[in-house]
Amino acid sequence: MTAFDPSAALESLFSEYTARASAIRRDLGRSHSPDFAEQAVQRQNDEVLEALLAEAEAALLLVGKAKLRLSEGRYGDCLQCGQPIQAQRLAALPAAECCLDCADRTK
């Protein structure tokens, strides 16, 4: 098993979310059909795409914050209690801001 590399994991997530957001923006920029019925369906699809774009942008923000913490030497410290975030949690969620205990308390 290879060691977890937070920098590589965060870069990979950043690239993935950037590509996803770009693709969604491209889809949202397409023109709609002149047919009213088809246009109604396309507008509903746009609402779904807008929600997906918001999720991708929120994830990009979290990854950006994690990259900043990494550069400042604070990566892996819980923002709530200051204790180290479990290695397994960081491997699963590289942009995690809180340890599992604190994350459970905020639910």
Mean pLDDT value across residues 54-61: 97
Residue 30 domain-assigned (yes or no) = yes
In a domain, 92, yes or no: no
Which residues form the domain of 23? 6-75
Contact indicator for 8, 37 with CB cutoff of 8 Å: no
Distance between CA atoms of residues 25 and 11, nearest Å: 21
> In the predicted model, is pLDDT for residue 11 greater than 60?
yes
In-domain check, residue 94: no
- What is the domain count for the chain? 1
Tell me, yes or no, whether 11 lies in a domain: yes
pTM of the model: 0.83
Instruction: Classify the C-alpha dihedral 98-104-105-106 as positive or negative.
Output: positive
DSSP 5: -
Is 16 among the domain residues? yes
Indicate whether 80 belongs to any domain: no
Give 106 or 83, the one with higher predicted confidence.
83
- Per the domain annotation, does 107 fall within a domain? no
Closest by CA to 89, choosing from 81, 98, 80, is 98
4: helix, strand or coil: coil
